[in-house]
Structure 1
């Protein structure tokens, strides 16, 4: 299977006072670098990183990595535009991909092991979507068969991946990932996460 990966990292972190969460560190690495290296470690195909706000500060974190960096000038309109930008970059250059993996950079506990497990679930269960479940939510990281690319390209505004997942629950395998609920959207999320890491050391 040839897998294409899209990393959505275009937001301006407005809910964190504008300090780019892409550059927050976990275990000595920025979240953008950590997420990108996990995607590359799958060794299954191209990796596209979608940037927007704070591009100049984030690009140096990707130095030396074999990824395609694409700019989304419309990042402020919502996540759907970044997804479509990434899909376009991926699909225009790699029409032979079999599936698309979508990652966010603000889930620090996404690991290579989780991503490999998702690929195994896809292989074993044969569903067109593999998504992660945390709490009552089913979402990213999420894996979509190429048959869903056209539908993903129809998303607009803040209508995101979950909308497609919910519409096709009968074709979706769910992977438990309670740590996915750790989503660094606000300053207090970061503070709580950092405190928990210090206590765990």
Structure 2
């Protein structure tokens, strides 16, 4: 079973005052390196990382990792363009993938254990989508069967995977992951994360 993973890391971290959130550190590692290593540890298939803003600062963090880096020059148009860039890179070189895992870099508490559990749920329940539930949303990390690739490629602007998940709730297994609500989008988010005694 070959599963492709796409890590979306193209945003400019505008709410961080220009400091790339991909380079924030948790447990001694940058967020981008942590999520990349977790994806590789799955040993399920190719890992594609989509870059845009701050590319030159982020690339050194991925040195030595067997990942494919792709540039999305259209990153300012929204998340959909990065998702499509990643899907195209995956699908052009690996037409035999059975499913796609989509990950963000700003959820520091995503773990290898969580991702492996999602695969267990997929095997046990047989749904076309497995996604994480936290607060009021069902979103990333998310795993889509290859049947959904065409629909993901049709997304535009700021529409992300949540939009596709919302349209197919009946075919979606939900994995509780309350820590998924912690995403480091702003300096205030980082302050609150620090105050919780989880050093960034």
- TM-score normalized with structure 1 length: 0.98
Residues 1:127 and 2:138 are matched in the alignment: no
Give the secondary-structure state (helix, strand or coil) at the position aligned to 2:196: helix
Root-mean-square deviation (Å): 0.8
SS of the equivalent of 2:45 reads: coil
Residue by residue over 1:118-171, the C-alpha shift from the partner in whole angstroms, topping out at 9 and shown as x without a partner, is 000000000000000001110000000000000000000001111100000000
Hey, what's the Cα distance between the residues in 1 that align with 2:114 and 2:125? Answer: 16
Deviation digits for residues 15-59 of structure 1 (CA, Å, limit 9, x no counterpart): 111100000000000000000000000001000000000000000
Runs of 4+ in 1 over 3 A off after TM superposition: none
Tell whether 2:65 aligns with 1:73: no
Structure 2 CA distance, aligned partners of 1:30 and 1:194?
Answer: 15
Per-residue CA deviation, residues 104-127 of structure 1 (Å, 9 max, x unaligned), is: 000000000000000000000000
Alpha-carbon deviation of 1:197?
2.5
What SS does the aligned partner of 1:103 have? strand
Aligned to 1:181: 181
Which residue of 1 is the match for residue 61 of structure 2?
61
Change (3 A) 1:123 1:52: same
Give the corresponding residue for 2:12: 12
Give the whole-Å Cα distance in 1 for the aligned partners of 2:198 and 2:130: 33
- Distance in 2 separating the partners of 1:167 and 1:114: 24
Counterpart position of 1:151: 151
For structure 1, the 5+ residue unaligned runs are none
**Residues in 1 aligned to 2:13 and 2:126: alpha-carbon distance in whole angstroms:** 36
The aligned residue for residue 96 of structure 1 is 96
Q: What is the distance in 1 between the residues matched to 2:197 and 2:147?
A: 40
Displacement after TM superposition at 1:196 (Å) = 1.2
Q: Report the Cα offset of residue 198 of structure 1.
A: 4.9
SS in 1 for 2:183: coil
TM-score (norm 2): 0.98
How many residues align? The count is 199
